[in-house]
Amino acid sequence: MTETTATTGTPVTPEPAAPATTPRATGSAIPAEEVERLTGDIVAALKSVYDPEIPADIYELGLIYRCEIDDERNVEIDMTLTAPGCPVAGEMPGWVENAVSLVPGVGNVAVTMTFDPPWTPDRMSDEARVALDWY
């Protein structure tokens, strides 16, 4: 599973197959309770976006590499795809931006597509593995 964090300044990139963690706010001016709410709501929004060819959401697939909330509640997301030639490569960042933009309290949302490091099945959560019958 990909770790989602709320920080100011220092991005945190999870290791592959990193377990879900409690939201962290290192040096954030946002109250901890709000960081926790925003993080939970952002994760829920990310989990509402599915790759149309795979019956698992992008969060559980491990396609979200970084999600950072700044002090103005703007959100920066680095994500990838299961393959660079994915037919929805041009559309999915917009789907992610739209989903996260609907979270109450979120400012601007910027989604960046990256293929470094390349996605591997090791990034999937157990939930995604069960959905895909990859055991």
- Asked whether residue 54 is assigned to any structural domain, the reply reads yes
In the block, tokens 């959560």 appear at: 125
Report the number of distinct structural domains present in the chain.
Answer: 1
* Rounded CA separation 126/69 (Å): 26
- Asked whether residue 51 is assigned to any structural domain, the reply reads yes
* Rounded CA separation 29/24 (Å): 12
- Residue 72 CB neighbours (<10 A): 9
pLDDT string in tens for the chain (135-residue length): 444 444 444 444 444 444 333 334 456 789 999 999 999 999 999 999 998 888 899 999 999 999 999 999 999 999 999 988 888 888 999 999 999 999 999 999 999 999 999 999 999 999 999 988 886
- Asked whether residue 100 is assigned to any structural domain, the reply reads yes
- Asked whether residue 25 is assigned to any structural domain, the reply reads no
- Asked whether residue 96 is assigned to any structural domain, the reply reads yes
Q: By residue range, what is the domain housing residue 44?
A: 32-131
- The CATH number of residue 82's host domain is 3.30.300.130
- Asked whether residue 69 is assigned to any structural domain, the reply reads yes
Token output for 126: 């157990």
